[in-house]
């Protein structure tokens, strides 16, 4: 598995459309970020459209929050489809199993930082269980901003798909934009990104 980092969103889009991991680093990492303990790698992921399929997010963006929450509650025992970053997460989790665990000093620390909240958090938890993935920290923020959580976790990199979250996060921690998979625009033959 490879990961493509670029400063160009179009380049990252081409890689995502080939179903591989890619992110566009749109801002230089902040110079004043707190130090991460030596010998430790910290990675934070958003959920929908980064680790998981964007199908649930499309429900949120079209019928709305109530429809999204009803669907996620009804499907809480149905694991979500993997996106390209799911492969990275699964490999990190398998590596983490071989390393000392149960401590804040573990060599690899993984966090999920998502806008989901009750009742939709159960689908995330059950999906991670189905994948055999353990994460060190999971934050279900329910629309609360991500900056304070990211500052406290202090990842080497944070992956998200939405500009609204990335603009604030990139000022505090290194952040990568994961473009949406391009979908054909039905009826026009024009490709469009869902966002």
Structure tokens at 187: 């009826």
Cα distances (Å, whole numbers) of residue 50 to 56, 83, 99, 172: 12, 6, 25, 20
Higher-confidence residue: 183 or 51?
51
Among the ranges given (27-31, 115-119, 180-184), the one the predictor scored with the smallest mean pLDDT = 180-184
- Res 101: pLDDT: 61
Q: What would the pLDDT profile of 37-66 be if each residue is shown by its tens digit?
A: 788 899 999 998 899 988 898 898 888 889
Q: What is the pTM of this model?
A: 0.86
Which burial class, exposed, middle or buried, applies to 42 when counting CB atoms under 10 A from its CB (0-12, 13-18, 19+)?
buried
Q: What is the mean pLDDT of residues 64-93?
A: 92
Q: Which of 10, 11, 17, 46 is catalytic?
A: 46
Name 96's Cβ contacts closer than 8 Å, sequence gap at least 6: 106, 108, 110, 134
Active site residue 46: yes
Q: Classify strands 190-193 and 182-185 as parallel, antiparallel or unpaired.
A: antiparallel
CATH of 39-184, one of 3.40.50.300, 3.30.70.3420, 3.40.50.1000, 3.40.50.2300: 3.40.50.1000
């Amino acid at each position: 598995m490879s990961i493509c980092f670029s400063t160009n969103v179009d380049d990252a889009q081409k890689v995502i459309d080939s179903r591989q991991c890619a992110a566009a680093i749109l801002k230089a990492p902040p110079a004043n970020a707190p130090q991460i303990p030596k010998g430790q790698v910290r990675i934070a992921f958003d959920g929908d459209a980064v680790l998981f399929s964007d199908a649930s997010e499309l429900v949120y963006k079209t019928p709305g929050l109530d429809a999204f929450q009803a669907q996620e509650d009804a499907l809480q025992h149905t694991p979500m489809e993997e996106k390209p970053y799911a492969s990275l997460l699964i490999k990190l989790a398998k590596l983490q199993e071989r390393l000392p665990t149960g401590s804040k000093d573990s060599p690899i620390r993984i966090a999920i930082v998502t806008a989901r909240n009750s009742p939709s958090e159960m689908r995330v938890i059950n999906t991670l269980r189905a994948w055999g993935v353990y994460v060190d920290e999971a934050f279900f923020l329910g629309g609360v901003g991500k900056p304070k959580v990211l500052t406290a976790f202090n990842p080497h990199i944070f992956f998200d798909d939405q500009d609204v979250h990335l603009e604030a996060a990139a000022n505090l921690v290194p952040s990568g934009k994961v473009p949406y998979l391009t979908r054909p625009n039905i009826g026009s033959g024009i490709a469009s990104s869902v966002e």
